[in-house]
Structure 1
Amino acid sequence: MDSKDVEAEIHPLKNEEGRLQESLGNQLKKEGHLKSAPPQSRLSRCRTVAFFLSLFTCLLVVFVISFIIPCPDKPASLGMWRVNYNTAVTYDFLATEDINRDRVQDVLFLYKNTNDSNNFSLSCADEGFSSPCSFVAAVSGANGTILWERPAAQDGALVLCGVPRPKDSGASSACILVGRPGSLIAVDLFTGETLWKQPSSFGRNASILSPLLQVPDLDADGAPDLLVLAQHDKEVNSYIYSGSTGHQIGRPASLGVEGTRGFLLYVTGAGAHYVLLPCGALANSLCGHSVKGIYEKVTGRDSLLRRDPSWEDMLNATNQRLLLHSSGAIHYLVNVPGKSGEDLLLVSSESCVLLDGQELALRWTFSAPQVLRKPIFGHYKPDTLAVVIENGTGIDRQILLLDLSTGAVLWSQALPGFPGYPQSASLPTADHRSAFFFWGLYEQEPRDTQHSLYMFHPTLPGILLELANISANIVAFQVALFEPGRHAACVFLTGPSSPDVPGLVSMAKHKIKDLVLSSRVVRLTEGGHDSDQAIRDRLSHLRYRSEA
């Protein structure tokens, strides 16, 4: 037997005692080892304290921000508001800008009031005008309150808003107004305060042509300048004014053409600025003048602006006439934005023609002999531009949506319309299409005193929604996105049809969603299983987006 086993049998108690001592020794060694290692319980307690301390800090910050530091008040946007002026007249001008910086678009418009302004803060005499005079007013898009209003001209005005100011001028953006008789005034877009005021040199017999053109900074003072075209007898003259001071730059210069409408400021692919306008005895040719050439002609000095060599080759050196002849009188010239630069849409008395923006090569022609309104653009297919053509008047009026890349008809609808109807409009939707808005009378007795507004969306090509019926004379109309991702609205400016007969002038905003929910469903084709209410609900959930 092994000696250890013999010992255990002879002395059993002694052996058991040894085992106990050995076990006790091992336990003491383990306790010593635990004491020498970092205590887990202490580390766990520290982690718990840190977690609750962080949680308490976060809750405290949330409490301070939510209850102690007041959040800026944002006015609730009303679905509908209206501003009225009695014994007044108004003009065809509407613009939207966030004037009071509440992230809601506000509305600017013009009116002429025999009783001066509504708030009497400034009178016509304060600005050197006799009463009545024309006022420019800024109205809150959220609730219709007057933000500011001020006298702007003796009678009427052409307005260009959103003109940048020099960095050191104290104002970031301006509205420039040219009134009749000739005067120029620039006001701070956000406060209405006068930035500068200058007399003009148009002469009393001059007719100022619309629109005003914002051109690059010609006098190097840090602000874009203003190019004004005015007609004397039958000749068109050009005037350049400093955007920062209003002083005239150089002297007037004749463009050597006749005409009263249809001109356009165009930027070529080489970055050169040209003024295009119909010319010739029948206005069936296209004339062009570089802004660089106009500046050098009126000042006698060189300009840093560019000329486009390919365009200069196309221009006749004698009369600045482009080698382009239309089959009819040119009524409208429209810039067409594209991926490779701007193209040119030319609308004549016989057709619509899309021209390549650089070479003026023909892309397509669409026969439309009675286009009496300037075309607008929108998206019938996702991210694909379409052009809206209103062809004809009276019961023969047709609304046509053409694919801008091919000239093919995407959608057409007879919609009787009569002189005095407002321009159509479009607004991009979140599905990368557009909602279109047309005026007319669908299957109703034509009445000159009634204007009906219809909405169309390409996802329901057989449906029109009749949104509103207005009996007043509509002077201006606009559809705008007032809050990104929130709501779009229609703006109606109504007033007397004659500028010589004062009456009620009304500016009103209506939320499109509210108009849709109360609209009348017009079915253009038979079939379809959706109820009228289901169609209203579907179109009321459209989301709108700003232009890209």
Structure 2
Amino acid sequence: METTDSATEGDPLKRVEDGAGAGTPPSSTELKKKSCKDAIGFSKLTHWRTAVFFLSLFLCLTIVFAFSFIIPCPVRPQYRVTWNRTFSEAGLPSPCVFVIAVDGTDGEMLWERALDPEFHWAQCGLDKETSRTWDCLLSHSDKLTALDKYTGVLQWQQPQPPGLHSTVPVLSVPDLDGDKVSDVALVASENTQTQLVFLSGKTGVQIGSAVTLDSTSTANHLLHHTTERSHYVLLQKDTGLYGLALWRIAAQAKAGMEVGLKKDKHWEINASPTSGLVPIYESDSLRQVLRTGETKDPPNLLLVTGKEVALVNGKNLQLLWIFNTSSVLSEPSFGHYNQDDLLDVVVEEDIGNNTKRVVILDGKSGGVLWEVSLLATPNSPKPASIHTINSFSIFMFWGMMPSETNSSVPLTGERRSYLLHPLYSKVLLESTTSMDHIITFKATLLERGRHAAYIMLTGPGTEEAQGTVVLSKRKLKQDVSYSTVLRIGTSGSSETNEEIKEVFNRLRFSDW
């Protein structure tokens, strides 16, 4: 039982009214008035809570309704499994030169633009992170034409720089003329010298004068940036690979234009005091220089010579590894065979008797991870790979198994394609889909996780020949059900053919 003195303490709802004694209980009238006030206040609070609840419910339902019915969901493109587009007019003599863009989903033409003949070269897919309104540059007749590859709209057209017959690749360089648009550089190599010209990325007008990079001819060129964000033009010469700082070139083209370009003191230590060339790799049989394509900054450099394949660190120019080889048949490609996050290298090596060895080299050490011998069929595209969401790649290459034909007889036109799954390295998936002369081939990802495909352009056997050209696309998984499972090596694989095919059918693809 509670005493009167402790009433306020025992019942928290009771309180001492102003002017009343601490121990004096309230009267019945006061209690009735207070309870009425409390009841009214509680009733109002309940109504407010109810109103807030229904208002919140209404807002939630409105948002759900808007996203479900009013705001349209993004529509996934409906990719056709395969399509072919025939250009019967291709290969006709001048003055027929056309640029055509085709939709990858169904092969329908997006746009077409006629150009003045003769056609020399085209390069699309230049660096995306720029302020340029175009991404395709074409050289034809005596003109340079910049196009938007998505619409075909002509952004600018300028005459070729006088006396300069440039070749691809086009180099995308930082803004040099101060118009806040990235510019481009063209390189031309003749028997006596190699020159470079800067063009405005906004208008195509030449910036400054032409610069002589070297007194001899160069076979190829690339643009490389260092960790200090300094740019170097890499020149492939008869004596090896050399770099020339972009700020040096810009200063020769126009005084003061090098002000905004950064210098790399680590590279410049090794620069020649007379020419400014930085030696990167010396070789008298250098054939190819490739960037590894890694997301690391800067990427490493892969060099192919007449007797070796070498990987050079793109940061400090240190030699990482060398793989000795007799002769490389095609341009190497890259993919993830193991899961160490470093790109591995696919090399096709000529081992004689119309036979080639397909080798996958470890990107970290240069050691052999996997290999197979195939008959070297003519007109075979270079190896390709498609990355998966599981951190490894599916590799694709061309040829024919030696057991299926007499290897001493040169093959004329027959070839087959092969798929390799790194986790099932004892089997190959062979496709016998017949194909004409392949002009160009590319394995690519059209939709993340769902749709990997290869796109081919086939046509006459020589560039001079005239005739029908066919552009075709085929889903990578489309050939799985029709392919043959080949067991390679001595141990083979314990899975059945149906299980192997199901592994390929369950693949989900990704970008790098």
TM-score interval, smaller chain:
0.7 to 0.9
Query: How many Å separate the matches in 2 of 1:401 and 1:424?
Result: 11
- Map of 1:364 onto structure 2: 321
CA distance in 2, matches of 1:263, 1:431: 35
Q: Report which stretch shifted further, 232-241 or 75-84.
A: 232-241
- The residue aligned with 1:104 is none
| Distance in 2 separating the partners of 1:430 and 1:479 | 16
Assess if the C-alpha contact under 8 Å between 2:222 and 2:235 holds in 1.
Answer: yes
Instruction: Please tell me whether residue 192 in structure 1 is matched to residue 152 in structure 2.
Output: yes
1:288 maps onto 2:243 in alignment: yes
Q: SS of the counterpart of 1:384?
A: coil
Post-superposition Cα deviations, 1:117-143, rounded to whole Å, max 9, x if no partner, equal xxxxxxxxxxxxx6211x222222222
The separation in 2 between residues aligned to 1:400 and 1:208, in whole angstroms, is 35
Matches within 5 A, 1:18-37: none
Residue 339 of structure 1 deviates from its aligned partner by 4.8
Change (3 A) 1:65 1:156: same
TM score, norm. by length of structure 2: 0.82
The aligned counterpart of 2:448 is 484
Distance 1:277 1:68, change over 3 A: closer
How many residues are paired up? 473
- Give the equivalent residue in structure 1 for 2:274: 318
1:173 Cα deviation after fit: 4.0
Distance in 1, Cα, partners of 2:216 & 2:72: 62
Q: SS at 1:310's partner residue?
A: helix
- In 2, the alpha carbon distance for the partners of 1:323 and 1:73 equals 52
Name the CA distance, whole Å, in 2 between partners of 1:176 and 1:482.
20
For the pair 1:543 / 2:508, whether they are aligned, the reply is yes
Asked if 1 retains the 8 angstrom alpha-carbon contact of 2:378 and 2:413, the reply is no
Q: What is the alpha-carbon distance in structure 1 between the residues aligned to residue 36 and residue 56 of structure 2?
A: 31
Q: Give the equivalent residue in structure 1 for 2:481.
A: 517
Selected match of 2:369 from 410, 414, 432: 410
Aligned-pair CA distance for 1:320: 4.4
Q: Distance in 2 between matches of 1:380 and 1:166?
A: 33
Q: Establish whether residue 175 from structure 1 lines up as the match of residue 135 from structure 2.
A: yes
Judge conservation of contact 2:343–2:363 (CA < 8 Å) in 1.
Answer: yes
1:468 and 1:45, CA in 2 relative to 1: closer, same or farther beyond 3 A? farther
1:493 pairs with 2:493: no
Amino acid at match of 1:438: F
Which residue of the partner structure matches residue 342 of structure 1? Answer: 299
Deviation at 1:351, TM superposition (A): 0.8
Q: Which residue is 1:103 aligned to? A: none
Residues 324, 37 of structure 1: CA spacing in aligned structure 2 closer, same or farther, 3 A cutoff? closer
State the Cα distance separating 1:52 from its structure 2 match: 6.7
SS in 1 for 2:85: strand
Q: Secondary structure at the match of 1:537?
A: helix
The one-letter code sitting in structure 1 at the alignment partner of 2:501 is: R
Aligned partner of 1:265 in structure 2 is 223
What aligned pairs does 1:210-249 form with structure 2 within 5 A after superposition? 210-249=168-207
Distance 1:376 1:189 in 2: 26
Question: What displacement does 1:372 show?
Answer: 3.4
CA displacement at 1:245 relative to structure 2: 0.7
Please show how residues 96-495 of structure 1 align to structure 2 within 5 Å. Answer: 131-133=95-97, 135-152=98-115, 154=117, 155-163=119-127, 173-201=133-161, 203=163, 208-259=166-217, 261-279=219-237, 283-304=238-259, 305-323=261-279, 326-336=282-292, 337=294, 339=296, 341-382=298-339, 383-392=341-350, 395-443=354-402, 444-445=404-405, 447-467=411-431, 469-495=433-459
Q: Which moved more, 1:180-189 or 1:49-58?
A: 49-58
User: 1:330 deviation in Å?
Assistant: 0.5
Secondary structure of 1:87 counterpart:
coil
The DSSP-based 3-state class of the residue aligned with 1:251 is: strand
Separation (CA, whole Å) in 2 of partners of 1:372 and 1:254: 33
Q: Distance between the aligned counterparts of 1:234 and 1:515, measured in 2?
A: 50
| Cα deviation, residue 246, structure 1 | 0.7
For 2:447 and 2:460, the matched residues in 1 are separated by 31
TM-score, with normalisation over the residues of structure 1?
Answer: 0.77
**Equivalents in 2 of 1:386, 1:503: separation in Å?**
39
Deviation at 1:260, TM superposition (A): 5.1
- The whole-number CA distance in structure 2 between the counterparts of 1:377 and 1:248 is 36
Query: Could you list the runs of 5+ residues in structure 2 that have no partner in the other structure?
Result: 1-30
Distance 2:67 2:83 in 1: 33
Per-residue deviation, residues 204-253 of structure 1 (Å, max 9, x unmatched): xx653332211111212222221111123343221221111111122222
RMSD, aligned α-carbons: 3.2
Q: Is the 8 A contact 2:136 2:148 kept in 1?
A: no
Secondary structure class of the residue paired with 2:206:
coil
Cα distance, 1:183–1:419 mapped onto 2, change above 3 Å: farther
- Using a 3 Å threshold, how does the CA distance of structure 1 residues 143 and 347 change in structure 2: closer, same or farther? same
Instruction: Quote the Cα distance in structure 1 between the aligned partners of 2:325 and 2:343.
Output: 19
Larger deviation: 212-221 or 257-266? 257-266
State how far apart, in whole Å, the 1-side matches of 2:497 and 2:280 are: 50
* 1:268 and 1:342 in contact (8 A); partners too: no
Aligned partners of 1:200 and 1:451: how far apart in 2?
42
1:472-504, Cα deviation, whole Å (9 max, x unpaired): 111111111111222111111112232322211
Cα separation, 2, equivalents of 1:369 and 1:409: 15
Given the superposition, is the C-alpha separation of residues 340 and 151 from structure 1 closer, same or farther in structure 2, using an over 3 Å criterion? closer
Distance change in 2, residues 1:381/1:131 (3 Å): same
C-alpha separation between the residues in 1 aligned to 2:479 and 2:460? 25
How far residue 465 of structure 1 moved from its aligned partner, in angstroms, is 1.3
Within 2, Cα distance between the matches of 1:500 and 1:61? 63
Aligned to 2:88: 86
Q: Which amino acid aligns with 2:106?
A: N
Q: Quote the offset at 1:54 in angstroms.
A: 5.5
Mapped partners of 1:55, 1:272: distance in 2: 58
Equivalence map 1:34-113=2 (5 Å): 38=39, 58-59=60-61, 62-63=64-65, 65-67=67-69, 71=73, 73-89=75-91
Inter-partner Cα distance in structure 2 for 1:475 and 1:247 = 34
Gap change, CA 1:357 and 1:69, over 3 Å in 2? closer
What is the SS of the residue equivalent to 2:208? Answer: coil
Contact 1:450 1:469 in 2 (8 A): no
Is contact 2:172–2:184 with CA below 8 Å preserved after alignment? yes
Distance 2:72 2:313 in 1: 56
Partner Cα distance (1:46, 1:362) in 2: 75
Kept in 2, the 8 Å contact 1:292–1:306? The answer is yes
